[in-house]
A = this chain, B = another copy of it.
Amino acid sequence: MEIEVLEGVFDANEMIAGENRAMLDEAGVFMVNLMASPGAGKTSVITRTLQGMAGSLACAVVEGDVAGKVDAERIAKLGIPAIQINTGGSCHLEARQVNGALARLDLASLDLVIIENVGNLVCPAEFKLGEDLKVMILSVAEGDDKPLKYPLMFSESDVLIVNKIDLTPYTDFDMKALKGTVFKMNPGAVTFELSCRTGEGVDKWNEWLKKRAARD
């Protein structure tokens, strides 16, 4: 019984994700679904990415949080269109919420939409939003054993950004061990190592994303 209800939820979600996809395709917009634990640095990666895209791609950001609007305010300060979705208790974004946000953006004037999902390594991986790319961030402070505990997120993501590499000397984080585990479950994963704090490695990610987004 319970499983049937869940399947219904996923089916309905996938249908709306398809509608989002069609809207984006028509407008020629590339969409990134950015997922991570709370505090892994999603908003900081977005800020660094927006700086990198400045002058080449027109961007907008959709912020998903259980509550609050601090993230959307941070983005809006940069002069970038930002829409805040409050899930009101739900631990992930669903396609219908993104649909509502896309409808409020002037898609024709945009090249790239970045969705910041709710901070959570579990459920966001299960809900398609109509994105071109699933990107996850792992912070060095979280430890290199996370893929074993949250396998779906690591195997579903097209890109793994390892953030806060400036903290590496003060932790037991083992990059080699992490990558070994990740590539076993997701051989096609593209990885980037960076620090939003120092800026190290940010350019490489931005150049890659720029090329991917320009494909559309």
User: A152 contacts which of B66, B71, B166 (Cβ < 8 Å)?
Assistant: B66
- Determine if B167 and A141 form an interchain contact, defined as CB atoms under 8 angstroms apart: yes
Is B167 touching A68 in the complex (CB atoms < 8 A)?
no
A119 with B152: CB separation less than 8 A? no
Please name the residue on chain B nearest to A87 by beta carbon: B122
Query: A149 and B91: CB pair below 8 A?
Result: no
Which residues of A (134-160) have their CB < 8 Å from a CB of B? 138-139, 141-143, 145-146, 148-152
Chain A residues in contact with chain B, CB under 8 A? 5, 37-40, 65-68, 70-71, 89-91, 118-123, 126, 138-139, 141-143, 145-146, 148-152, 164, 166-167, 170-171, 197
Q: Measured between alpha carbons, how far is A109 from B138 in the docked complex, in Å?
A: 40
Please state if B150 and A119 are interface contacts (CB–CB under 8 Å). Answer: yes
Which residue on B lies nearest to A172, using beta carbons? B197
Give Cα distance in the complex from A92 to B126, angstroms.
Answer: 15
Contact B91 A123 (CB under 8 A): yes
- In the bound complex, residues from chain B placing their C-beta under 8 Å from that of A152 are 66, 89
| B164 and A67 form a contact (CB under 8 A) | no
Task: Return A11 CB to nearest CB of chain B, in Å.
Answer: 15
Q: How far is the CB of A13 from chain B (nearest CB, A)?
A: 13
CB contacts (< 8 Å) of A149 on chain B: these are: 38, 65-68, 70-71, 119
Q: Which of B38, B68, B126, B164 contacts A37 (CB 8 A)?
A: B38
* Contact present for A39 and B170 (CB under 8 Å): no
Q: Pick the residue among B5, B39, B66, B123 that contacts A142 (CB under 8 A).
A: B39
Chain B residues contacting A164 (CB-CB under 8 Å) are 141
Residue of B with least CB distance to A146: B38
Ordered by A's residue number, 26 sampled pairs between the chains whose C-beta atoms are within 8 Å are A5-B5, A37-B38, A37-B39, A37-B119, A38-B121, A38-B149, A39-B138, A39-B141, A39-B142, A66-B149, A67-B149, A67-B150, A70-B145, A70-B149, A71-B149, A89-B122, A90-B122, A91-B120, A118-B122, A119-B149, A120-B120, A120-B121, A120-B122, A139-B141, A141-B142, A170-B170
Q: In the assembled complex, which residues on chain B have CB atoms less than 8 Å from the CB atom of A39?
A: 37, 138-139, 141-143, 146
